[in-house]
A and B are shown apart, each in its own frame.
Chain A
Amino acid sequence: ETGVTQSPTHLIKTRGQQVTLRCSSQSGHNTVSWYQQALGQGPQFIFQYYREEENGRGNFPPRFSGLQFPNYSSELNVNALELDDSALYLCASSRGGQTSSGNTIYFGEGSWLTVV
Chain B
Amino acid sequence: AQSVTQLGSHVSVSEGALVLLRCNYSSSVPPYLFWYVQYPNQGLQLLLKYTSAATLVKGINGFEAEFKKSETSFHLTKPSAHMSDAAEYFCAVSETGRRALTFGSGTRLQVQP
Complex contacts, B103 vs chain A, CB 8 Å? 42-44
In the complex, B113 has a CB within 8 A of chain A: no
Known: A41-B106, A42-B90, A45-B100. A102 touches B51 (CB 8 A): yes
Q: B46-60: which residues lie under 8 A (CB-CB) from chain A?
A: 46, 49-52
Q: How many contacts A-B (CB < 8 Å)? A: 75
Chain A nearest CB from B39 CB (Å) reads 10
Chain A 92-107 interface 0/1 with B at a Cβ cutoff of 8 Å (1 = within): 1000011111101111
Q: Give the interface size bracket for A toward B.
A: 20 to 34
Using a CB-CB cutoff of 8 Å, which residues 13-50 of chain A contact chain B?
Answer: 33, 35, 40-45, 48
A104 touches B49 (CB 8 A): yes
Contacting residues, chain A, for B43 (C-beta < 8 A): 2, 4, 6, 90, 107-110
Contact surface of B with A, Cβ cutoff 8 Å:
4, 32, 34, 36, 42-46, 49-52, 90, 92, 94-106
30 A-B pairs with CB atoms under 8 Å apart are A2-B45, A6-B43, A33-B99, A40-B106, A41-B105, A42-B92, A42-B104, A43-B103, A44-B103, A45-B99, A45-B100, A45-B102, A48-B99, A56-B98, A56-B100, A58-B100, A90-B43, A97-B99, A98-B94, A98-B98, A98-B99, A98-B101, A99-B99, A99-B101, A100-B96, A102-B94, A105-B101, A107-B36, A107-B43, A107-B45
